[in-house]
A and B are shown apart, each in its own frame.
Chain A
Amino acid sequence: MSSSLERASPVPGRVVWNLLRRFTWRHWKGQPLRSLLLLLLLSLGVAVFLSIRLANRAAVASFTNFAGVLSQQADATIAAPAGLLPETVLEELRRKTAVRGSDALAGLELIPIVETVCAPPRTGEDSRMGTRASFTLIGVDLVALQNFAAQQKFDRRWFDQKVEGAEKNGMDGEQALVRLLTRSNAVFCSAKLAAREGLQVGSTLVAVVNDQAVTFEIAGVIPGRADQPESPAGLLVMDLPALQVLTGKVGGFDRIECLFPSAAREGANREILLERLRRAVAGVASVRTAESRRMAAELMTRGFRLNLTILSLLALLVGLYLIFQALDAAVVRRRSEIAVLRALGVRDSEVRRAWLWEAALLGVGGGVLGVAGGWALAQGTVRAVSQTVNSLYYANNTEAAGLHFGEALTAFLLAVVCSVLAGWLPAKRAASTPPAQLWAQGGRAAATGGESRLRSVVGWGLLTLSVGLAFCPPLTFQGGARFALAGYFSALFGVVGAGILAGDSLRFAAWLGAWVARRSASRKLAISHLRAPTSRHRWAAAGLLCAVSMTGGMSVLVGSFEHSVSEWIGHLLQADIYLTSDANQAATAYNRIPASTWKQVTGDSAVADWDALLLVPVEFGGGGIRLAGSDLGFYHRHHQFSWLKEPLSEEIFEVQKNAGRCVVSESFAARFRVARGESICIPTPSGERVLEVAGVYTDYGDDQGIVMVDRTHLQEWVGTQEVSTLSLTLRAGEDPEAVRARLRNSHTGLAVFTNVHLRGEVMRIFRQTFAITYALEAIGVGVALAGLGMTLASILAERRAELTTLRALGMSRRDIAQVAAWEGAVLAFCGTAGGLVSSLGLGALLIFVINKQTFGWTLQPAIPLRALLLLGVAVPVVGAVVAWTVGRFGADLPADRTR
């Protein structure tokens, strides 16, 4: 070897390559199982991160505008700040944006849209909310769509589609068009839905719109092009006037999507056209570009997505500890060879580079495997993410996540960079220690005094920084969205700082454990190893601390959240029966109950008192909020408000006196920095209203913000008698279940809940939204425990000589396994104990800083003792079991096998 290195020495790169090939690879090959495990753990971290990123991307990138189905994403979208756009806007727009035919900006396409969310009717007794995939039903001018189909050379026409297998549909083109335009229930579905449900021209599809189960007739499949993405599975398209009638939106529509001519897609022409549009609809509607619309959707879910992304980094963070300790252990194992190499003239920089290359190659391997695994994992996580987005934010039926090149590259580079970073210190150590010292250090990898001091300084420094960052304000964006950047860094620094200091607890544990271990040789032996812990011991404990700390911290947050929500619904849900449209399976479904229906329901002889809520989405401060109308007096009488800032006057609860007043949710107050007593100007379909904020109440069901006024006023502003939900208080002696059954039978388009059922539903959805969180935490803890096993395996391998002596002195394999188990258990205990302590700090940070800054909710802190206790017991026990297993294998010495 030396001769080849000498020959190669004039070319430094070749020396590094030779070192990797002849030196590093030999070690990796010699322990394939451990090498593979390390690679897999790193790839798991990458995979989890990537899968969450892909799932988030898929959920956010789901259907945002209809123009995308036709040809390209809309360049601009025009919508009223509240309610519908009147049809007259279209003619005005055409007139005011008209240019001469020879103008290069000619060719502006305006696509008016009516949109609603509907859902298939319930089957049997299942009335869980959010479990049925909603359909996004789009109303668009089918005649105009034919132009796009022709331009884009779609695979079929909008009208005139035939029953599969039939040669002719019996109509000529004109008849088919007229028939389509005069049918009120003809819809086009996606090819995916048609294939999945076996739908073809003439088939029927039942879906609930408002309070009615409507039977739609399939007129065909949404045309498309083979080289374009398929239409979303949950998309249904029908003729605009027909949907206007069906949804009660006659004379208006929800938005206009604009496609610019190619000369105006960018640059100055784009701005000219945008300005023309803005001027044309000034005072009536706002114009949003595709970017701002996408940004709004992203901002809405940013907090949720960031939380998931950060949690997904847990496994990678723990994986980093593993890489660090694996490479650090390798320095120890290979120190004799390093000393020989150094003595033979290999330069420090070459050793360091070889070490860094090793780390980088590990990152490459882990990155490649992680990207593949991440994509596969994303197919599972996307449904969970999508369902949560559906429940909390907007209708979303995303079923698959594509492999996005940018995300994959990010994950891959993250793996490589993290590996190199983790390998930096071991590489430095391998390169900088003099050969004589390397030989002299024997079998131990004890830290030097300088390192120990540095570790303390860094650890405490990070903790101090963490505390400081916790007091920094969030970043704020347009539309009132906030991002707790400093809070997240505070969490990261806190966990890493605590992890760095975790090793010091091992000495304390060894000192404490000495008394416990005094009567057992194996325990004594185990404890003795921890009196002067190696860096691997430290990093194993740090990894566990990190995982347990984040898991515990999230448990504290979730526990506090659950406690707060539980108290809140205790206040809020006091009626006996609740009703809403059965089509409202997603947060943005605004199906309503017509006046005739709710009057019939509230007139039922079993009903003693009732209230109704009308919800209207409006634009405020550049973002979306909800304007709610309810009987404020009813809320007050039934103590349904949980006040953060109670109204100073009772007048807000009297409809005759509360015009011009409102109460706002805590999220609204935090998002827009509005306080009690201040005035806000809210857009409504009948113009802007200036409202005085009379009070601020808690609402954990919404993080965008709610402004609540008396229903009488809101119905007048909106010009409707419809309502969104109904709550009924029954007469004494009435059985809620019986009334519910009766109402379900008489109103098949309504979802009817009893109080008990609705509370259960709220908590089920609450837990469902955290399901993915639990899974991510479990993976993090799993990786940390696997790291513990790897650490012990590595240590046992190094102690082979010691073990052989112990066996010769009469210790059995079982005894050695016990030593390993004790060592592992104490390690795990230290990591867990440290993790639990820091989880309390992290929990407080999540509750009071990150949650507050992101969602604006005040949570009542509650420590989930049972969960933390379980974590505190389970992790050391599983750690001991893993260590025992590793010990059994580690004690299988070559000497035993040759005996």
Chain B
Amino acid sequence: MKIRLLILSALSCLLSTPFEGAPLPVAPGDFTPQPLVEKTADGFRVPQPGHRFEFPRDHGSHPEFKVEWWYLTGHLFGPDKERFGFQATFFRKATTPASAESVAGAKAFRADEIFLFHAALLEVGSGRFIHTERLARSGWDAGASVEKLSVHVGEARLRGEESQKNRFTLDASIREEGGFSLDLEALKPLVVFGNDGVSRKGDSPTAASWYLTFPRMKAVGEVRIKDRLVPVEGKVWMDHEISSSQLTGEQAGWDWAGIQFEDGREIMVYRLRRKDGTTDPASALAWVDADGKTTHYGASEFKWEASGQWRSPVSGAKYPLPVHLSAPDPATGKTVEWTLQPLANQQELDGAVSGVPYWEGACRVLSAGREVGAAYVELTGYAGALGRALR
């Protein structure tokens, strides 16, 4: 979900909501969305509950759906405890239901499917943040296998190992400024968020996704900062989300976090913000315990608040940072509070290609002043530039 969707599907929505320090009130009423339909108006499939996922096939591409992404974030450490945060995202967006409308005979240059790649790297010690975006039409320079996880955009690629369903390699370069190559191995089983395999994102009969996550993966590899190579190890969060239409017209943006606690548990949380200033009831929080079992909470059961504000000198957007989150802990039944403290404020991707600036950054997780984990936080719809860039 997250920015991925904003970039790829709701280009006509202007996501701009002023910063408010207090938590947004949840829109009144129970969240009882409309039943899902089979297909969108433009002919794409809509994710249905009860789907039996098969791997490695379902790690691959689903071209009958309109939107899909593979989203990796993580925290890496060098031999001298040098710390890095990274993000690598492969987006796929079908522009028309079929390829018949694309220009004839051009398999190497398809017009019916487009890929977008984002990568970012934070060198925590120096605060240096580098990032890149790359747009490519499906064909010779971008594509995704329908049989297994194998997606590439330009030189960036994410591939599953032939014999292993839970081992992957990731390569991404950020022009001459840096890059990273990582071997990934899932430390916990795959999690499917939502109810009966479907994650609802709004009231609309098409606003749903299949949301598959490896919440904790071991990463081993190298990070390059200019021409300096650093061997690294760390932990990674990997999402794979498939949908055809998620946002509704009332939604203005959303905030997301993937938290990896030191006790081996994780939280995935998203808050959908509505244009009227309320939190959409489709917002959700899910705990993943050490065995991969999930516990879901609704919008009214957790709080996402800002405990400060950071203004981007690039886009001018005001981001509500740090984040204050409180939610019940299923292990104790008590409400716990955390502060998601950015490792650097400047972790905004400026949207040079997509036209959608957003903040996606590595954070440390503090509870009662003690560091209890690491998180990646995503804040979208705070830059007025979204509408301008994609006018």
Contact = CB atoms under 8 A, between A and B. Distances in A.
**Residues of A in contact with B, size category:** 35 or more
Interface string A118-152: 00000000000000000000000101101100110
Interface stretch (B169-177, B257-265, B303-311): B169-177
Interface string A159-202: 01000000011001111011001101000000000000000000
Interface string B111-155: 100100000000000000000011111001100000000000001
Interface stretch (B26-34, B221-229, B326-334): B221-229
Contacts of B111: 178, 181-182, 241
B135 A147 contact: yes
A102 B391 contact: no
A175 B95 CA distance: 9
Contact of B105 (A141, A239, A250, A261): A250
Interface stretch (A86-94, A497-505, A826-834, A858-866): A86-94
Given A104-B227, A181-B137, A141 B175 contact: no
A718 interface: no
Interface stretch (A26-34, A106-114, A206-214, A471-479): A106-114
B384 interface: no
Given A94-B141, A172-B11, A174-B390, A106 B106 contact: no
A880 B344 CA distance: 88
A250 B134 CA distance: 26
A215 interface: no
A451 interface: no
Interface string B146-186: 00000000011100000000000011110110011100000
B107 interface: yes
A310 to B, nearest CB: 45
A103 interface: yes
A261 B176 contact: yes
Interface string A512-540: 00000000000000000000000000000
B355 interface: yes
B118 to A, nearest CB: 12
Contacts of B179: 100-103, 106
B12 interface: yes
Contacts of B96: 178
A173 B172 contact: no
A153 B314 CA distance: 13
B136 A94 contact: no
Given A101-B156, A262-B176, A90 B353 contact: no
Contacts of B102: 181-182, 241
B107 A160 contact: no
Nearest to B350: A150
A107 B104 CA distance: 30
A177 to B, nearest CB: 8
Contact of A160 (B137, B180, B223, B391): B391
Contacts of A102: 171, 173, 179-181, 221-224, 229
A178 to B, nearest CB: 5
B156 A107 contact: no
Interface residues of B, number: 46
Contacts of A108: 155
Given A143-B137, A172-B12, A173-B11, A99 B355 contact: no
A570 interface: no
Contact of B180 (A101, A104, A151, A172): A101
A419 to B, nearest CB: 50
Contact of A245 (B103, B140, B172, B176): B103
Given A108-B155, A150-B352, A87 B108 contact: yes
Given A144-B141, A147-B134, A173-B389, A106 B173 contact: yes
Contacts, number: 141
Interface in A228-263: 239-242, 244-245, 250-251, 261-263
Max count, chain B CB within 10 A of own CB: residue among A87, A103, A108, A143: A143
Interface in A447-489: none
B38 interface: no
A178 B135 CA distance: 14
B173 A107 contact: yes
A98 interface: yes
A108 B154 CA distance: 9
B109 interface: yes
Contact of A143 (B114, B133, B391): B114
B101 interface: yes
Nearest to A89: B140
A100 to B, nearest CB: 4
Nearest to B156: A101
A601 to B, nearest CB: 27
A173 B140 contact: no
Nearest to A243: B103
Contacts of A182: 101-103, 111
A544 B297 CA distance: 101
A173 B355 contact: yes
Contacts of A242: 103
Given A90-B140, A174-B390, A240 B109 contact: yes
A100 B171 contact: yes
Contacts of B141: 90, 94, 110, 141, 144
A99 B390 contact: no
A262 B135 CA distance: 21
Max count, chain B CB within 10 A of own CB: residue among A151, A168, A169: A151
A719 to B, nearest CB: 15
A143 B135 contact: yes
A244 B353 contact: no
Given A101-B155, A178-B111, A87 B353 contact: no
Given A103-B181, A106-B179, A173-B389, 12 more contacts: A91-B108, A101-B171, A102-B222, A150-B352, A153-B352, A178-B96, A178-B111, A181-B111, A241-B106, A241-B109, A261-B176, A263-B227
* A-B complex: 4 closest residue pairs judged by Cβ atoms: A241-B106, A173-B390, A101-B171, A106-B173
